[in-house]
Each structure stands twice: as structure tokens, then as C-alpha cells.
């Protein structure tokens, strides 16, 4: 296979490139080739540059099925709510760029794997709480969420038979800022931490998601939208307690509060626990349980706990 990873410098992109380049990558034959493009290599908001990059990738010598994985995203969700320039950037990266990438893939006969988010989903009718499926109600609240849904729609429209849209949630990786790293730092700076306990989700280790995306692209699964996140669920408070446990600290130092106690410009989903049903239906192995994944992540990358 021939791979292009867009957004290769981010936490997920870094893991994708590492997994694809490793001898023990999931099912990877030694003849696979990987083109990794960071933000410095490709400005995804420049349509001409995007089309040229995809054409050059597809024209390069090589054999096998071509798969482009789009891991690029604008994720400053609060800034996008308060700053017009940030909102425009979110729309350019999350909505317009995926459409251009997908169209370029269509012109060259490539498949596209596009990473989306739990933020596009809305609450279940009647306040029901169960793991969310891809066909559950959509109700994106905020600039970031609306831009991500628009990106999904453009990918599906441009590549009706050659797309995989994968929604995930609560990502943390070995590189870059994330909740796990922040909690570890705060645990060293403060006697107690106060963390929201009324938002429920599925923490996801980016290395696990990278393995899942690669397995999906290698599979014979038909085009579609699926959910992939760490197994099980918790709250931000529960995840913070788990981080302190990994530090060997007293998790009782983490005190719960409600969302209203920490108002933010961008609304957060109160319930974004993602079902693995669509993943299993495609014959794919679900991602590991979130608590097990956190322990594995810390074991492989102890720098996560250095904050």
C-alpha cells in the first residue's frame, strides 16, 4: 500500500507515521511506502497546494492501493468561539480542507480516512444515556463542532464509495499538550485539583487509534462512518483520578465539580461515550479499554507524567 498522512506533526499523526514505519506495524508488508506531511510541509488551507501534493504523491513510483489519512485539525475550540480569525481558521482546516483532500483523492483513485469528533453528536432523545452510534442525532454546538461536521459531509460527498469517516473522542498522545499531561503537572503544583464530573466520554490513546485507523484502511470494510474510542467510559474527574493513580499519588486529591463551575466559551458534550458497534460490525478489533490504555501509555511514555 501507499500512504499519505496529512497532519503528520500532531499527536495522532506522529503515531500514525511511527506505526506505519515500524516493522511490527499492524499487518504492514515491508513494501509499504509512507508520505508524511506536517503543517510545515503542506498548508491544508491552500487548495492548489493540496491538489499538487496529492497529485505528486499518486504520481510517485510505487504500487498498491493508495490511502490518505487526514489527521489535520484545528482544535482550539474556545478560541474559535471568541476570535473571528480563529473561527475562520477552524472552518478552513476542519471543513474546507477535507473537501479539497477528498476531491483530490477522487481524481486520483485513492481512499481517504478522515478523523472526526464526538462533538458533532447531540443528546439522545429523552435524556437516554447509552453509547452513541454513528446514526444517532447530530447537533453540533459551536464553531469547532459545526466545522467538523461540515468536513465529514464534504468527504462523504466527494468520495461516496472510497471514504472512512472515523469519529473519536478525548484524545491524548505522547506529544503535545493534553489533559493527562496537564493533570500530572497540576498534581505536582497543587494540593487539590477540582475537575468536572458531569461530562462523560471515552478517553483515547492516540497510538491505539492509529492502530485502529491502519487496520480499517487495510480491511475490506465498505465506505462509511464509524466510531472508534477507548473502551468504556468515565468523566474528566475519573480520568484525573486515574492519572494520579499512575503517579502513585492519592486520587482523593481530585475533587468533583459540575460544568457550570468552569464556564468555557465553547460548549462541551455532556454525553459523548462512543459505541464500538460499528467498528465490530466491520470486523475490526475494538480499541483497548481506556484505563488499560492509560496504563500502557504511561508505561511506554513516562514523560506523560512529567507534565
Q: Which residues are catalytic?
A: 144
Close Cβ partners of 257 (under 8 Å, ≥ 6 residues apart): 194, 195, 196, 197, 237
Are the C-beta atoms of 44 and 10 separated by less than 8 Å? no
Residue 26 CA to residue 212 CA, distance in Å, equals 9
Close Cβ partners of 297 (under 8 Å, ≥ 6 residues apart): 172, 174, 180, 205, 207, 304
- 3-state SS string over 146-169? HHHHHHHHHHHHHCCCCEEEEEEC
From residue 162, how far is each of 90, 185, 201, 271 by CA, in Å?
A: 25, 42, 29, 30
The DSSP code sequence of 175-229 is: SS--HHHHHHHHHHH-S-EEEE-S-EE--EEHHHHHHHHHHHHHS-PPSEEEE--
Count CB atoms within 10 A of the CB of residue 52: 13
Q: How many CA atoms lie within 13 A of 304 on its CB side?
A: 22
Residues in the chain: 307
Residue 25 CA to residue 37 CA, distance in Å, equals 19
Amino acid at each position: 500500500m501507499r500512504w499519505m498522512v496529512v497532519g503528520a506533526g500532531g499527536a495522532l499523526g506522529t503515531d500514525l507515521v511511527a506505526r506505519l514505519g515500524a516493522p511490527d506495524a499492524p499487518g504492514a508488508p515491508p513494501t509499504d511506502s509512507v508520505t508524511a506531511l506536517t503543517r510545515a510541509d503542506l498548508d491544508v488551507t491552500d487548495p492548489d497546494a493540496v491538489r499538487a501534493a496529492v497529485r505528486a504523491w499518486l504520481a510517485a513510483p510505487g504500487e498498491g492501493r493508495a490511502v490518505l489519512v487526514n489527521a489535520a485539525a484545528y482544535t482550539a475550540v474556545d478560541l474559535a468561539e471568541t476570535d473571528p480569525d480563529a473561527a475562520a481558521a477552524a472552518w478552513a482546516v476542519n471543513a474546507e480542507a477535507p473537501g479539497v483532500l477528498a476531491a483530490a483523492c477522487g481524481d486520483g483513485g485513492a481512499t481517504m480516512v478522515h478523523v472526526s469528533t464526538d462533538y458533532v453528536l447531540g443528546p439522545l432523545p429523552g435524556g437516554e444515556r447509552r453509547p452513541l452510534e454513528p446514526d444517532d442525532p447530530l447537533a453540533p454546538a459551536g464553531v469547532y463542532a459545526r466545522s467538523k461536521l461540515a468536513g465529514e459531509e464534504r468527504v462523504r460527498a466527494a468520495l461516496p464509495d472510497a471514504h472512512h469517516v472515523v469519529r473519536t473522542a478525548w484524545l491524548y498522545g505522547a506529544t503535545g499538550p493534553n489533559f493527562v499531561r496537564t493533570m500530572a503537572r497540576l498534581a505536582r503544583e497543587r494540593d487539590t485539583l477540582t475537575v468536572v464530573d458531569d461530562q462523560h466520554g471515552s478517553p483515547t490513546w492516540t497510538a491505539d487509534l492509529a492502530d485502529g485507523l491502519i487496520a480499517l484502511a487495510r480491511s475490506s470494510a465498505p465506505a462509511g462512518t464509524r466510531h472508534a474510542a477507548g473502551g468504556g467510559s468515565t468523566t474528566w474527574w475519573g480520568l484525573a483520578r486515574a492519572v494520579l493513580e499512575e503517579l502513585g499519588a492519592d486520587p482523593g486529591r481530585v475533587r468533583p465539580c459540575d460544568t457550570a463551575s468552569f464556564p468555557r466559551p465553547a460548549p462541551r458534550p455532556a454525553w459523548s461515550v462512543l459505541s464500538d458497534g460499528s467498528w465490530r460490525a466491520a470486523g475490526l478489533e475494538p480499541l483497548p479499554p481506556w484505563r488499560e490504555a492509560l496504563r500502557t501509555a504511561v508505561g511506554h511514555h513516562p514523560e506523560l507524567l512529567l507534565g
